[in-house]
Amino acid sequence: MSLPSDSAADNTRFVLLHTSHAGNVGATARAMKVMGFSDLVLVQPRLANVLCHEEAIAMASGAADILARARTVASLPEALDGIHHACATAMTPRDFGPPTLSPRQHFDALASSARRVAFVFGTERYGMSNEQVYRCHVCLSIATDARYGSLNLAQAVQIIAYEWRQALGGFEVVPRTSDATLADGVAVQGALDHWQAALEEVGYLDPKAPKKLMPRLQQLLNRAQLTHDEVQILRGIARAVRQRH
């Protein structure tokens, strides 16, 4: 899966602060890649070799190229070098500091600018410190159930990456291609005739008092918009039923 080339992706950075678990780094890379982002910066990860750690590569699941081009730095100011707008991610509101907004609420206006944007994520256990939040222009809060608001780091990255990509215009949803030609009326009637014979043989349909069973089956098959292959399956089932009686 190749990354799309677009200025929005080039102007977007994801920053992880003091990450403890290699798996979260790999899962973050995967979350970024599926949304078309590639700039990952780690600030003093707990594991010095986390970008080539076996667990990180496994959790990246095809996004090892994101890990390969990622870099580590010693401080948040270094991670924000060249960034015009930094977004903290913190569940706990601060009494003082940047405004707290939902991602969707903030991204509509931000997407129309040409600023280089960074999304900053805190440690798995403690999140972001006040000092780290104060360095950012806005604090993004992902609304959750008030009874349980704990998000895994990579889950939070995926939500932010998705919302940001959607604000930038998103990706085209490719519809599933039709896998077969619709059966015509003659084919459907042939299946009905086959089923009628099978139902009579097993004693489910009394030909002397058929009531409205076959017309109801006719309406059912009409609503189903059967394909040619599906008609053949139905006829095969009817054939198998008749062979056993």
Output the pLDDT for position 93.
60
Q: Which two tokens stand for residue 48?
A: 């010095």
User: How distant is the alpha carbon of residue 23 from its chain centre?
Assistant: 18
Cβ-count burial of 7 within 10 angstroms (0-12 exposed, 13-18 middle, 19+ buried)?
exposed
Whether 172 is covered by a domain: the verdict is no
Same domain flag for 162 and 189: no
Output the pLDDT for position 124.
86
Same domain flag for 48 and 136: yes
Output the pLDDT for position 5.
46
Question: Across-strand partners of 17?
Answer: 43
As a whole number, mean pLDDT of residues 45-53 equals 92
As a whole number, mean pLDDT of residues 162-191 equals 86
Q: Which two tokens stand for residue 9?
A: 């992706």
Q: Does residue 1 surpass a pLDDT of 80?
A: no
Instruction: Give the angle 95-151-56 at the CA atoms, nearest 5°.
Output: 125
Same domain flag for 189 and 136: no
Strand order from edge to edge, sheet including 12-17? 71-73, 39-43, 12-17, 117-121, 85-89, 138-140, 100-101
**pLDDT tier at 2, thresholds 50, 70, 90:** very low
Same domain flag for 136 and 17: yes
The pTM of the whole model exceeds 0.85:
no
Question: Could you list the residue range(s) of the whole structural domain that residue 143 is in?
Answer: 7-167
Q: Which of 167, 201, 219 delimits the end of a domain?
A: 167
Same domain flag for 157 and 200: no
What is the tally of structural domains in the chain?
2
Output the pLDDT for position 75.
96
For 68-86, what is each residue's pLDDT tens digit?
999 999 999 999 999 999 9
Whether 16 is covered by a domain: the verdict is yes
For 6-15, what is each residue's pLDDT tens digit?
677 789 999 9
Same domain flag for 85 and 192: no
Q: Does residue 52 surpass a pLDDT of 70?
A: yes
For 112-154, what is each residue's pLDDT tens digit?
888 899 999 998 888 899 899 999 999 999 888 888 877 899 9
Output the pLDDT for position 177.
66
CATH number at residue 223: 1.10.8
Cβ neighbours of 182 (radius 10 Å)? 13
Q: Which two tokens stand for residue 76?
A: 């948040």
User: How distant is the alpha carbon of residue 143 from its chain centre?
Assistant: 18
Same domain flag for 50 and 145: yes
Whether 71 is covered by a domain: the verdict is yes
- Three-class SS state of 73: strand
Whether 157 is covered by a domain: the verdict is yes
For 177-200, what is each residue's pLDDT tens digit?
666 688 999 999 999 999 999 898
Q: Which of 136, 167, 198 delimits the end of a domain?
A: 167
Same domain flag for 155 and 208: no
For 207, which DSSP code? T
Q: Is the distance from CB of 169 to CB of 129 less than 8 angstroms?
A: no
For 182, which DSSP code? B
DSSP class per residue in 88-123: EE-SSPPSSSSPEE-HHHHHHHHTTS---EEEEE-B
Same domain flag for 130 and 207: no
CATH number at residue 54: 3.40.1280.10
Whether 173 is covered by a domain: the verdict is no
Whether 179 is covered by a domain: the verdict is no
Q: Which of 167, 198, 227 delimits the end of a domain?
A: 167
Output the pLDDT for position 112.
86
Tell me what percent of the residues of the chain surpass a pLDDT of 90: 65
Distance CA 85, CA 8 (A): 13
Output the pLDDT for position 114.
80
Same domain flag for 14 and 123: yes
Same domain flag for 150 and 200: no
Same domain flag for 113 and 211: no
As a whole number, mean pLDDT of residues 99-117 equals 90
Q: Is the distance from CB of 119 to CB of 87 less than 8 angstroms?
A: yes
For 199-240, what is each residue's pLDDT tens digit?
989 999 888 888 899 999 999 999 999 999 999 999 999 999
